[in-house]
Amino acid sequence: QVHLVESGGGVVQPGKSLKLSCEGSGFTFSNYGIHWVRQAPGKGLEWVAMISYDGSNKFYADSVKGRFTISRDNSKNTVNLQMNSLTAEDTAKYYCARVYFEWLMVGWFDTWGQGTLVTVSS
């Protein structure tokens, strides 16, 4: 069964850093593009970043560009999101999601993790 599991969330002070991880199982992880999507409390979904199946291409939302870095380690079936210079506006549940088609970077998301909560507060 295809699964994505996020980890690494927690409470962090403004200006600090946090690293999220997304581990995949039940499929050939190295064949799929992975995205991060976040949802602030009571708000809609916001796309954050994406990485190609081999890690060679990465794109970011303007709201996180220059502060967040997405990376992957296919030997560990993991995609990471390094988040620096966090602000209260980054408070959200962060989901990772898999693109439906193998090898493609963009597409609809057929599999989502359950999310990990990031709270930025002093």
Partner 1 sequence: EIVLTQSPGTLSLSPGERVTLSCRASHSVGNSYLAWYQQKPGQAPRLLISATSMRATGIPARFSGGGSGTDFTLTISSLEPEDFAVYSCQYYGGSPLTFGQGTKVEI
Binding positions for partner 1, rule: CB under 8 A: 35, 37, 43-47, 50, 59, 61-62, 95, 100, 106-110, 112-115
- The distance of Cα 52 from the centroid of its chain, to the nearest Å, equals 13
Q: Which is nearer to partner 1, 11 or 106 (CB)?
A: 106
- Report in angstroms how near the CB of residue 15 gets to partner 1 at its nearest: 25
Q: Do the bridges between strand 18-25 and strand 3-7 make them parallel or antiparallel, or are there none, so unpaired?
A: antiparallel
Q: Which is nearer to partner 1, 96 or 120 (CB)?
A: 96
R_g of the chain computed on alpha carbons? 13
Q: Which is nearer to partner 1, 17 or 114 (CB)?
A: 114
Check: CB of residue 82 under 8 Å from CB of residue 68: yes
